[in-house]
Amino acid sequence: MSELKKIPTRNGFGDEIVAVGKDHPEVVVLDIDIGKSCKTQDFRKELPDQYINVGIAEQNGAAVAAGLATCGKVPFVVTYAAFGSMRICEMIRQEICYTNLNVKIACSHGGFTPANDGASHQAIEDMGILRTIPNISIMMPADYNQARKLVRAAAETYGPMYLRFTRDAMEQVYGPDVEFEIGKAYQIQDGKDVAIIANGDTVSLAIKAAKELEAKGISARVLDMHTIKPLDVDAVKACVEEIGKVITVEDHNIINGLGSAVCEVAAEMGKGIVKRIGIQDQFGESAPYERLLAKNGITVENIVATAEALQ
Amino acid sequence: MNDISMKDLKNKATEMRMKVVDMIYKAQSGHPGGSLSAAEFVTACYFKYMNVDPENPKWEDRDRMVLSKGHVCPIQYACLGTLGFFPEEVLDTLRKEGSPLQGHPSMIKCPGIDISTGSLGQGMACAAGMALGGKMNKKDYKVFCVLGDGESQEGIIWEGANTANKYKLDNFIVFVDDNGLQLDGPCDEIMPNGDLGEKFKAFGWDVCYINGNDMEEVCKALDWCYSDEAQNGNPKAIIGKTVKGKGVSFMENQVGWHGVAPNDEQYAQAMEELKAQLI
């Protein structure tokens, strides 16, 4: 994976949404001014009749999208994750989820990936906040190719959805032909000593950690939990039943994100041990992306050390 | 557009008011004040202007009605029940467990509700989205939206107004139910709106001021929205000066009747007063 060029997953969204829009004329991109940054400029140019820009008015954008969805459109509301989850949280709840309308919130700048922008633009709470709202599905692809697959799946599957992409470039994990299903974990490799469950930009860290663990004689199952809601409960249960030691890794606050979702399953089973690696309930700052992750222990080294300590 | 005489339309509004009072009395919960002030506009839309099919509430060519001030849904339920979107006896189930008639309108539970509202301001932007959808889909339908004057304090109202202007949504007709009162008191005291019509004009809208409780003025304003000269790309705002609680003497202009139900005596008096208004 490391020999390939790194690409931000927002580019996967930007490239696939054009293809999706051509295949499905009901698909509409609704920008909130920051389309260039969210990679919708090609869609704007190629499919102007399916393109809306409401200016810097996120709340209005979400509600207009709900109105469009009642007319058979499939709007993708495009903004940054901090705004697309929190600024418009109540519109998502009231007009998109309560109504169960076919609106997709597609957000760049997930987690620490807008590293230089500082804490205002680093969405570390988004998936956790939205996870508590009924009817919504929540996804974060690991790389460019998975982003493309999940964007198409989102457009072709009915229901409110939140998709979180990265601003910064991510290593490529998957080839262009790998298929993914919303709500189904993707098993990258099997193992028997520890299960590492990651999503989004931390999947590549999990894969590297598994390689290092293998060299130390520890066999790791690696799951890409690209959809944290609906969670693939069966896949989590299988990790707890068959392995019993689980590590979660996420570029999100450890409160209410992937780690919490996995813990909820394990706790109700009454067995297994789960260690959560993620943002330590603290805001970020303007700094290199890798430094922000490191300050929170979101590193290959910490995954390896945590796995070793579990043995 | 339906052929209905002015006399019949005025009586319809009174009948709808009676149903509003009856529903809220039976529920012992609800918002009579704003439901009564908006009665002429909502009644005129449903019984004269709107092209809807009770047998096919999701008909894609239908005109839409969005109560952005969702708490006044009893007036909409009264119209929908009378038109046959659901059996009229369902009106007796307002706010009761299992009822399609939720305290605030729900599109997934009640036929004829075009979008769920209740959180103020959002309906305006949703309605703009519907009007935009109509333009994109090359449909002729209109979208009617009822705003409260108090509700106009929400920022999203003006974000939606911007969108309607940019996308030339002349199929979008907003009625501002300007009854001057909000939950905590007079709007001028809580947060003065200034001249709402001038605000809409500044956003590029066509604006008219009417007595919103005068059926003839309501129809004149709506007739204009259908005129050739009104198909000019500008969204329409009808600023309707209204009386909160209109038609029931002891509820009129009383902040206290924003969200409470009448007791037995008040109910009897209200129904008697309204009945006397039939012509």
Check pLDDT > 80 for residue A1. Answer: no
Query: Any idea how long chain B is?
Result: 279
Mean pLDDT of A32-53: 97
Phi, psi (rounded to 5 degrees) for A189: -155, 155
Check pLDDT > 70 for residue A2. Answer: no
May I ask the CATH class of domain A186-310? Answer: alpha beta
Residue A225: name the closest of A275, A183, A273 by CA.
A183
Residues A244 and A271: beta-carbon distance below 8 Å: yes
Q: Is the alpha carbon torsion for B38, B99, B129, A60 positive or negative?
A: positive
pLDDT in tens, B128-167: 999 999 999 999 999 999 999 999 999 999 999 999 999 9
Give residue B104's pLDDT.
97
Give residue A111's pLDDT.
98
The residue type at B213: N
Give residue B216's pLDDT.
98
Check pLDDT > 90 for residue B204. Answer: yes
Give residue A93's pLDDT.
98
Residues A48 and A73: beta-carbon distance below 8 Å: no
Write down the mean pLDDT value for chain A.
97
Judged by CB atoms closer than 8 Å, whether chains meet at A94 and B116 is answered as yes
Interacting residues of A109 by C-beta distance below 8 A, sequence separation 6+: A10, A37, A80, A81, A82, A117, A121, A122, A123, A165, A166, A167
Residues B31 and B244: beta-carbon distance below 8 Å: no
| Range A231-234 contact pairs with CB under 8 angstroms and sequence separation of 24 or more | A231/A183, A231/A261, A231/A262, A231/A265, A232/A183, A232/A184, A232/A185, A233/A265
Please give the share of chain A, as a percent, with pLDDT higher than 90: 99
Provide the β-strand partners of residue B119.
none
On whether any CB of chain A is under 8 Å from the CB of B114, the answer is yes
Check pLDDT > 60 for residue B224. Answer: yes
Of B130, B137, B155, the CB nearest to A67: B130
Write down the mean pLDDT value for chain B.
97
Rounded to the nearest angstrom, the minimum Cα separation between A264 and chain B is 30
pLDDT in tens, B112-123: 999 999 999 999
Q: Is 0.90 exceeded by the ipTM?
A: yes
The residue type at A80: Y
A179 included as an active-site residue:
no
Distance CA B164, CA A268 (A): 50
Mean pLDDT of A153-166: 98
Residues B205 and B165: beta-carbon distance below 8 Å: yes
Rounded to the nearest angstrom, the minimum Cα separation between B112 and chain A is 12
Judged by CB atoms closer than 8 Å, whether chains meet at A68 and B132 is answered as yes
Catalytic residue among A58, A125, A171, A250: A58
Architecture, CATH, for domain A7-170? 3-Layer(aba) Sandwich (3.40)
Query: What confidence tier does A3 reach under pLDDT thresholds 50, 70, 90?
Result: low
> Residue A73: closest CA among chain B residues belongs to which residue?
B133
Q: Residues spanned by CATH 3.40.50.970 within chain A?
A: 7-170
Q: Residues spanned by CATH 3.40.50.920 within chain A?
A: 186-310
Mean pLDDT of B211-227: 98
